Amino acid sequence: MDKQAFVKAIEKIEIVYNKKFSQKEYEIWFKEFMTTDVKEFEKAIDKTIKEVRFIPKIADVRARISINPNDYYIDDPYAYLYKNLEWSKIVK
């Protein structure tokens, strides 16, 4: 995601919740979501606006992203190396 798309999406939060983000807040939010797809980020923001009454936190938006960025471990051909053979198993 580039900064222009991020600012466009985050402006929705600023308008709806009547809060102006500081430069530091922009940087923190951008670093958290820079690897997220723009469309998924916009969907998560829209969903957050519908469901959260007060100013959302990063975790509120992160919880509403439908594609988990950590799912690549499941599809990894070397996933068997990540599991603890004694305590768990990889479920596909």
**Tens digits of per-residue pLDDT, 27-65?**
999 999 988 889 999 999 999 999 999 999 999 999 888
Tell me, yes or no, whether 83 lies in a domain. no
Q: How confident is the model at residue 91, as a pLDDT?
A: 56
The DSSP symbol for 55 reads P
Quick one: which of 65, 13, 4, 68 has its CA closest to 39? 65
Tell me, yes or no, whether 46 lies in a domain. yes
Tell me, yes or no, whether 43 lies in a domain. yes
Q: Average pLDDT for residues 65-69, to the nearest whole number? A: 69
Cα separation, 61 vs 48, in Å, equals 6
Tell me, yes or no, whether 50 lies in a domain. yes
Number of domains in the chain: 1
Quick one: which of 45, 49, 51 has its CA closest to 29? 45
Tell me, yes or no, whether 56 lies in a domain. yes
Task: Give the sign of the dihedral formed by CA 73, CA 75, CA 78, CA 79.
Answer: positive
Identify the weakest region by mean pLDDT among 22-26, 29-33, 34-38, 86-90: 86-90
Residues spanned by the domain of 7:
3-75
Tell me, yes or no, whether 92 lies in a domain. no
